[in-house]
Amino acid sequence: MALRLLSRRTLGSRLLRNRSSLASLHSHATSFGFQQVKEEEKSKLVGNVFTNVASSYDVMNDVMSAGLHRLWKERLVGKLSPFAGMKHLDVAGGTGDVAFRIFDAVNSVKRRELRKVDEASLEETQIYVCDINPNMLNVGKQRAADRGLRDNKSLVWVEGDAEALSFDDNSMDGYTIAFGIRNVTHIEKALAEAYRYKYSHQLDFSLSECCILSQCLITLRVLKRGGRFLCLELSHVDIPVFKDLYDLYSFQVIPNLGELIAGDRDSYQYLVESVRRFPPQERFATMIADAGFEKVEYENLVGGVVAIHSAIKL
Amino acid sequence: MYRTAAKRFLGVGFTTSRLLRLPKPRPNPTIITPYSHASALCTSSIGHTESPIGNQSVNPNQSDPTAASSSTAREEGPRRDESSRKKPRAEFEEEQARVLAASLRHVPRLGWTEEAMIAGSREVGVSPSIVGSFSRKEAALVEYFMDECLQLLIDRVDSGLDLQNLIPSERVSKLVRIRLEMQIPYMSKWPQALSIQAHPVNVPTSFKQRAMLVDEIWHTVGDGASDLDWYVKRTVLGGVYSTTEIYMLTDDSPEYRDTWAFLDDRVKDAFDLKKSIQEAKYFAQDIGAGVGKSFQGLMNGVMQTMSRRGGSSAF
């Protein structure tokens, strides 16, 4: 009996208990994987996922993607074309994969072009790494220290919510979010802004898509004119046979791997389900365009398993 | 065929993007009317560009280009509130053109490189990140320059260049000279531009630009041929232009006198070559006719012999 009660302490049962008290407009359900939970709980759950995940994040990434995630991140940074003197913001980049690549790219370029006189390159490059989870940031800081970059002023580790960015308007040349935009919840203010925008522009988005829209609007605010937004994210596969193989791999293999290596089946189950809930490439591109970006493009990698969306603020 | 400015900017783009969704057609004051000499209205100086809008070229259907693994979406303005919405596509293309134009000013110092483009973007007041969005960055700058030069050439021609008193070979010389003189400010860095154009990824575009240039020159000279001659003429002129261009790279004479002498010689050779090809063609035809006649005669003889033989004897 006790065991059964214990097993009923799932997220689903929490919803059942609270359903009757769901009166206010603001506490509507949002999705956590395939389960419906209240919003306030979602950020806690996401937080839990990543606290569990942080320590074995890098290892799991390598195993799940067979090392391909490194190539994807290389491609992302290649598309960004970093330059000396750049102010860059990498969101949800706790362990610093993308940030380190940008740092390396900038410094090698700078070394090559030292002969060129460019007053603006006297400005320091600043790469801000923002993450809601301090554990991820700590892993990142440790990696920086290992590379001898502990005291380097270019890399700045900021703990914060992607939706409540404390950066000034029009201050960033670039904004990247790698495998993070799926996990944005929304805070009141950001969501309200997204709703207002949606209604004033008569756009046709579902409630959950408004979370993503709010993220795009925040990005738009923070970027300078000409600044670029790049998003690397797991996306939808359409190729017939490959799609089935991918689904099989996602639902059968990954949660088991998660249990084996990270000791956490649920987190990876959530991960795989959230990928399916995320809008497909075209839809996401439309959302970015509707938020006010120009030249919205996307590139599929590995047949659609991963997609890089890019856009410019003008 | 390649006559108009609008067509040029359609074919040669620094964006590889294809439209996924077109905004609803609305009167766009910055569109330049194509297919008319009014295209000469758009600028006669390199510094300032009015961006010819490439709306017309794009596939008008609204379905996905599914074959491509990368595609573009355009901003869908609100359907009911068009007038207050800015023209996003036009503005973005203009911005790109402005950045490239500003970058050209930095090329003599920094070369055809990303640094020049970054400096140009800073000048315009846009974040240098925009440079990352150009596909094949340095090539975009070079191609922009080539387009600008072609446009300038057309403008010079349209605004009354005196070609009436010249024979065709001299007209060709004059036009090629005008075009090459536009490259003089960048001569120190031109080898770099040539190497960028020769890069396999960039060859299709640079080839097309040169083809358009050569076609433009022949068109101005007054050539209306549309048979095999058309290709021969363009190829020959393309060769003349390229060799002169390369000769110019190492020419130290005052005001490039040696280059223009070289050019005149090559053009004369080309015209002589044309005549000799004509003569060779007629010669071959004559021989062919002669051979054909004698062959026919031979066959007739054989047939007659056989019929005579066949009639008189019984095999």
pLDDT in tens, B116-141: 999 999 999 898 999 988 888 889 99
The SS3 of residue A172 is: strand
The answer to whether residues A193 and A106 touch, using CB atoms and an 8 Å cutoff, is no
Note the pLDDT of residue B259. Answer: 93
Q: Across the interface, do B132 and A80 touch by the CB < 8 Å criterion? A: yes
The SS3 of residue A155 is: strand
Tell me which chain A residue has its CA closest to the CA of residue B96.
A226
Q: Across the interface, do A295 and B127 touch by the CB < 8 Å criterion? A: no
What is the rounded CA–CA span in Å between residue B105 and residue A310? 29
Find the helix or strand (DSSP H, E) in which A281 lies: helix A281-291
What is the rounded CA–CA span in Å between residue A10 and residue B55? 55
What is the rounded CA–CA span in Å between residue B168 and residue B233? 13
Q: Across the interface, do A314 and B75 touch by the CB < 8 Å criterion? A: no
Note the pLDDT of residue A106. Answer: 84
Q: How many residues does chain A have?
A: 314
Phi, psi of A299 (to 5 degrees): -130, 125
Q: How far apart are the first and last CA of chain B?
A: 67
What is the rounded CA–CA span in Å between residue A189 and residue A199? 16
The token pair at B109 is: 């110092």
The token pair at A55 is: 């320590």
Instruction: Count A/B contacts: CB-CB distance under 8 Å.
Output: 108
Give the nearest partner residue to B115 out of A113, A174, A292, using CB atoms.
A113
DSSP A168: P
Annotation-wise, does A161 bind a ligand?
Answer: yes
The token pair at A69 is: 């995630």
The answer to whether residues B206 and B145 touch, using CB atoms and an 8 Å cutoff, is no
Tell me which chain B residue has its CA closest to the CA of residue A282.
B73
Note the pLDDT of residue A31. Answer: 60
Mean pLDDT, chain A, whole residue set: 79
The SS3 of residue A19 is: helix
Find residues 217-276 of chain A whose CB sits inside 8 Å of chain B: 223-228
What is the rounded CA–CA span in Å between residue A25 and residue A22? 8
Out of A49-63, A211-225, B262-276, pick the least confident.
A49-63
Question: Cα A50–A52–A54 angle (5° rounding)?
Answer: 60
Note the pLDDT of residue A245. Answer: 94
How far is residue A111 from each of residues A83, A235, B85, B90, B122, measured CA to CA in Å?
11, 37, 44, 37, 21
- Looking at the predicted structure, is the pLDDT value of residue A279 above 60? yes
What is the rounded CA–CA span in Å between residue A49 and residue B175? 70
Annotation-wise, does A219 bind a ligand?
Answer: no
Give the nearest partner residue to A228 out of B15, B122, B133, using CB atoms.
B133
Query: Pick from B178, B184, B101, B110: which is nearest to B140 by CA?
Result: B101
The SS3 of residue B38 is: helix
What is the rounded CA–CA span in Å between residue A107 and residue A96? 16
Note the pLDDT of residue B223. Answer: 66
Note the pLDDT of residue A45. Answer: 66
On chain A, the residues whose CB falls within 8 A of the CB of B87 are none
Tell me which chain A residue has its CA closest to the CA of residue B72.
A297
The token pair at B44 is: 């006669």
Tell me which chain A residue has its CA closest to the CA of residue B79.
A202
Give the nearest partner residue to B129 out of A116, A227, A286, using CB atoms.
A227
Predicted confidence band at A25 (pLDDT cuts at 50, 70, 90)?
very low
Q: Across the interface, do A202 and B76 touch by the CB < 8 Å criterion? A: no
Q: Does A118 touch chain B (CB under 8 A)?
A: yes
The secondary structure of B263-311 as a DSSP string is HHHHHHHHHHHHHHHHHHHHHHHHHHHHHHHHHHHHHHHHHHHHHHHHH
The SS3 of residue B16 is: coil
Q: Does A295 touch chain B (CB under 8 A)?
A: yes
Out of A76-85, A139-148, B131-140, B292-301, pick the least confident.
B292-301
Note the pLDDT of residue A133. Answer: 83
Note the pLDDT of residue A187. Answer: 65
On chain B, the residues whose CB falls within 8 A of the CB of A288 are 73
Annotation-wise, does A131 bind a ligand?
Answer: yes
Note the pLDDT of residue A71. Answer: 93
Note the pLDDT of residue A26. Answer: 39
The beta strands (E) that lie in chain B are given as 70-73
The answer to whether residues A179 and A60 touch, using CB atoms and an 8 Å cutoff, is no
Out of A212-216, A284-288, B54-58, B266-270, pick the least confident.
B54-58
The token pair at B312 is: 């008189």
The secondary structure of chain B as a DSSP string is ----HHHHHHHS-S-----SSPPPP---TTPPP-SSGGGGGS-SSSS--PPPPGGGGS----S--TT-SEEEE-----TT-TTTS--HHHHHHHHHHHHHHHHHTTHHHH-SSHHHHHHHHHHHTS-GGGGGGSTTHHHHHHHHHHHHHHHHHHHHHHTT---TTS-HHHHHHHHHHHHHHTTGGGGGGHHHHHHHHHSTTTHHHHHHHHHHHHHHHHHHHT----SHHHHHHHHHHHHHHHHHHHHHHT--SGGGHHHHHHHHHHHHHHHHHHHHHHHHHHHHHHHHHHHHHHHHHHHHHHHHHHHHHHHH---
A178-182 average pLDDT score: 86
Predicted confidence band at A229 (pLDDT cuts at 50, 70, 90)?
very high
A295-311 average pLDDT score: 93
Test mutation, B127, B136, B141, B189, chain A, max A CBs within 10 A: B127
Percentage with pLDDT > 90 across chain A:
25
Largest CA distance in chain A: 76
What is the rounded CA–CA span in Å between residue A284 and residue A70? 23
Note the pLDDT of residue A266. Answer: 87
Predicted confidence band at A230 (pLDDT cuts at 50, 70, 90)?
very high
The token pair at B152 is: 């300038």
Beta strand A294-301 pairing with B70-73:
antiparallel
Highest-confidence segment of A13-22, A197-206, B119-128, B289-298: B119-128
Where chain B has pLDDT below 70, the residues are: 1-89, 223-228, 274, 310-315
Chain A: give the shortest CA distance to residue B43, in Å: 24
Percentage with pLDDT > 70 across chain A:
76
Find residues 170-189 of chain A whose CB sits inside 8 Å of chain B: 173-174
